[in-house]
Structure 1
Amino acid sequence: MTTHTRIAVIGVGNEFRRDDGVGWAVVARLRERAEDRPLPPGTVLATCDGDPGRLIGLWEDAALAVVVDAAHAHPGRPGRVHRIELDAERLEQPPTTSSHGLGLGEAVELARVLGRLPSRLVVYAAEGADGSLGTGLSPAVAAVVEPLAGSVEDEIARHRGAPARRLP
């Protein structure tokens, strides 16, 4: 049995669709923070447009995958963050939807069928206010970038203290 130690942090979205770029902004902030406080060896920071095949390729064989994405909720509260963890059964269905054509749930189910899930998957979904064309996050979403970067670092630290288990 292979022991997986790689950690993948994936910012999902489109940096040219305002708040949809929150995942990319969190990954950029983690890169900045890593200059002073390096992340554990084997930690990969990546960005993705949400394509299920690319997501699966980024998290495959990871002991921990942390995905940061924008979400839409009805009713919504811009800047509210949802933490969703994959368990051995099914991905808990949050009261949000992805801002992409195919949602993260579809990528997870495809990875499950293909046997390409990470050992553990945690999603941070930040509710957005503005998905229009352009760059820059709305104030409510920009305010959660720093705390989200901290939450991802905490997730990695918690993971490093516990043995990883492989999900079916």
Structure 2
Amino acid sequence: MGTHARIAVIGVGNEFRRDDGVGLAVAARLLERAECRDALPAGTVVATCDGDPARLIGLWEGAGLAVVVDAAHAEPGHPGLVHRIELDAERPAQPPTTSSHGLGLGEAVELARVLGRLPGHLVVYAVEGADTSVGAGLTAAVECVVEPLAASVEDEIIRHRAATAMGPS
């Protein structure tokens, strides 16, 4: 299988900082859904990451599609609001939301762009959180988006596979 056939789904976060764990929760839900009904196609890797830019780049490098799910901080915030940001290797742009981590996705994207290590297509789902204090468990507003977001990621993969099967336009 060529590297561009590979799909990387990366849940970013820290499960011990409340809503910062949303990316991990979505990754776990995707794996549960795949187990129940074989939902993820061959070549799809679901991974988790703490947000370190070098680890993110390593996880998405060589992928035709990378889907990243992360918590975001926004002022004023709307807990549970999901932002979808699309970046192509040919037209990179820094995501407009701020990660809940010190160094975040924007830095990883910029570093990968400079190094020529962006995936073919990058889709970021940034979920606005309400609480990133120390503790386990998502707030209700963020917990409510985990299932629909897992379904959106599956749809993203299906669209990518269909577009790839049709070949370049």
Q: Report the TM-score, using the length of structure 1 for normalisation.
A: 0.93
What is the distance in 1 between the residues matched to 2:45 and 2:143?
A: 23
Sequence identity (%): 78
Aligned partner of 1:43 in structure 2 is 44
1:93 is displaced (CA, Å) by 3.7
1:101 corresponding residue in structure 2: 102
Q: Distance in 1 between matches of 2:131 and 2:46?
A: 25
**Which runs of at least 4 in structure 1 moved beyond 6 Å after TM superposition?**
none
Q: Which amino acid aligns with 1:90?
A: P
Q: What corresponds to 2:71 in structure 1?
A: 70
* Displacement of 1:90: 2.8
Paired residues of 2:60 and 2:66 also in contact (CA < 8 A):
yes
Cα distance between partner residues in 2 of 1:128 and 1:43: 27
Match of 2:145 in 1: 144
Relative to its length, the structure with more helix (as a share) is: 2
Q: How many Å separate the matches in 2 of 1:51 and 1:24?
A: 14
1:13 aligns to what?
13
| 1:91, distance to aligned residue in structure 2 (A) | 1.9
Do the aligned residues in 1 keep the contact of 2:3 with 2:63 (CA within 8 Å)?
no
Report the more deviating stretch, 33-42 or 15-24: 33-42
Structure 1 residue 103: deviation in Å? 1.8
Assess if the C-alpha contact under 8 Å between 1:23 and 1:68 holds in 2.
yes
Provide the aligned length of Structure 1 versus Structure 2: 163
Q: Which runs of 5+ in 2 are unaligned?
A: none
SS of the residue aligned with 2:19?
Answer: helix
Query: What runs of 5+ residues in structure 1 fail to find an aligned partner?
Result: none
- Tell me, in whole angstroms, the C-alpha distance in 2 between the residues paired with 1:119 and 1:86: 9
- Which letter does structure 2 place at the counterpart of 1:11? G
Deviates more, 1:96-105 or 1:12-21: 96-105
RMSD: 1.5
Q: Distance in 1 between matches of 2:94 and 2:155?
A: 21
Task: Report the AA paired with residue 13 of structure 1.
Answer: G
- Tell me the residue number matched to 1:89: 91
Residue type of the partner of 2:81?
A: R
